[in-house]
Structure 1
Amino acid sequence: MTSTDDKIEQKIKGLNPGSIIFTEDFQSLGSSGAIAVALHRMVKKGVLKTLARGIYAKPKFSKLLNQEVLPSTEQVAEAIAKRDRARILPTGVYAQNVLGLSTQVPLKLVYLTDGSPRKITVGNRTIQFKKTTPKNLALKGEISKLVVQALKEIGKDNATDEELKKIKAVLQNEDIKDLKHDISLAPQWIAEIMAQAL
């Protein structure tokens, strides 16, 4: 009979390096106690790395950096959203950073979500999921939804000419249909800024 350890090890072997794994991925392979012990052993063996409580990664080796590379905090947030079948939307300084409006890499990533609100610590960074209204998550464009969040963080009448120029430039890469859709949902002052990209 194959032990829980062996079953879990087999399953992990079949995963791509860089994969994010949750304790519940192994639910069918044994009791939660046996799974916890098996995963702890895999971490000790170096087969897995612990990212946060109940969240692991199969390390990926980078020849370029000549070291193991773990998934980014952003990838962890996306994996949690996928697991929970929830939608997430980056906010604030993080949205500004993704758009190139800020060079500051936030240690705290705040996402709006229609999933459960929670806080997770990954290394020295924190992921926070804040419950929001469906309207906030109804934006379609990958770029325009970030622009709305970044501008909310900057505040009305606070955006510099440089920032407005950058926003207009990044919005040129947005699908025109999505952009028009998102303009119709954005707060009036943000919609006016976004409309300049049409």
Structure 2
Amino acid sequence: MAPPLSPLRLELMRRMQAGAAAGQVFTWSDFADLGPHEIVERHLLRLAASSEGVYVTSRASGDWDAFFAEFRVLRVARGVYYSPSRNRMTKRPTVPMAEHVVAAVVSRLGGRWLVPPEAAAHELGITNLVPARLVVETDLRLQPISLGNRTIEFQTRSARRLHWAGRAGGVVVQALAWAKDLLTMSGDEQERARIRRCVSRHLASEKGPEARIELQACVALVEDWMRGQIDLAMEEAGLDPVFAPSWHSGPAGDGEGPDPDEPQSGMRP
């Protein structure tokens, strides 16, 4: 007969099971109220170790019944864990959303990361494509992560390049960067109008006000063609433009203006 589980481990399991359906991932910080880092991490490692062998066996045989007979925890990366649920169609363990994994891995180390253009375009509804290889720009040096059939790779970038990291306006900028060729080259006007509707719908949503304020505050970092597409999207939706007329009167922008986060040099009065 197995010994009874400790209250701490039972609470870990309860919380992780509650987040399984949403594909939530966990780090020690999610359980900081339960005890010291070393003790919580030890319990998480033991839960993952007890599941790993069963996972390997089930994957080799294709029979997942034994795996799901008990509560399971899998480790995605160092210090990052999740409890898989069972996919109704494939009957295999689900994998967490790539964005959740990236956020947990980077934030655990105190870094910043930029939403990949394809992920931002997917969030706005511009595309339904889910690439097998996801490249994430960050200020950390990190090893690739395998996530089911997908691979997450990391590219180190400067702080200036990562200005839009963690900002609501950054999702719009990255999504439009992904759709640049579709919007600026000759092609299907109906497709361009559809993309602009996705942009205006996002900027009119509950996330929109924060994104619009950030875009206006950092107008020098938004390329001219992108400003024009955003304002056109708003105009077509019967909404107030984000930039016009202020950005038309200034010097031509290329998205490479000074970073508002960096102190400006010059003579002091």
Same fold? TM cut 0.5:
yes
Q: Distance in 2 between matches of 1:51 and 1:178?
A: 36
Q: Distance in 1 between matches of 2:203 and 2:130?
A: 22
Q: Unaligned 5+ residue runs, structure 2?
A: 55-66, 186-190, 235-240, 242-269
Which of residues 85, 89, 109 in structure 1 aligns to 2:110? Answer: 85
Query: Is 1:20 equivalent to 2:29 in the alignment?
Result: no
User: How big is the alpha-carbon RMSD for the aligned residues of Structure 1 and Structure 2?
Assistant: 3.8
Structure with greater contact order relative to length (CA < 8 Å, sep ≥ 6): 1
Match of 1:165 in 2: 197
Match of 1:104 in 2: 129
**Following TM superposition, by how much is the alpha carbon of 1:91 offset from its aligned partner in structure 2, in angstroms?**
1.7
TM-score, normalisation: structure 2: 0.55
Instruction: Give the letter for the 2:192 counterpart.
Output: T
Q: Does the CA-based 8 Å contact 2:173-2:222 persist in structure 1? A: yes
Match of 2:74 in 1: 50
SS at match of 1:160: helix
Q: Does the CA-based 8 Å contact 1:16-1:58 persist in structure 2? A: yes
Structure with the higher strand share, 1 or 2: 1
Match of 1:134 in 2: 159
Structure 1 residues 170 and 15, CA gap change in structure 2 (3 angstroms): closer
Q: Does the CA-based 8 Å contact 1:96-1:150 persist in structure 2? A: yes
Question: Please, which moves more after superposition, 156-165 or 72-81?
Answer: 156-165
Question: Please, which moves more after superposition, 15-24 or 166-175?
Answer: 15-24
TM-score, normalisation: structure 1: 0.71
Q: Does the CA-based 8 Å contact 1:52-1:123 persist in structure 2? A: no
Instruction: Give the letter for the 1:137 counterpart.
Output: L
Aligned residues: 190
Instruction: Give the letter for the 2:203 counterpart.
Output: L
**Following TM superposition, by how much is the alpha carbon of 1:42 offset from its aligned partner in structure 2, in angstroms?**
4.7
Q: Distance in 2 between matches of 1:30 and 1:155?
A: 46
SS at match of 1:118: coil
Question: Please, which moves more after superposition, 177-186 or 12-21?
Answer: 12-21
Bigger Rg, structure 1 or 2: 2
Which of residues 41, 46, 49 in structure 1 aligns to 2:50? Answer: 41
**Following TM superposition, by how much is the alpha carbon of 1:35 offset from its aligned partner in structure 2, in angstroms?**
7.9
SS at match of 2:131: coil
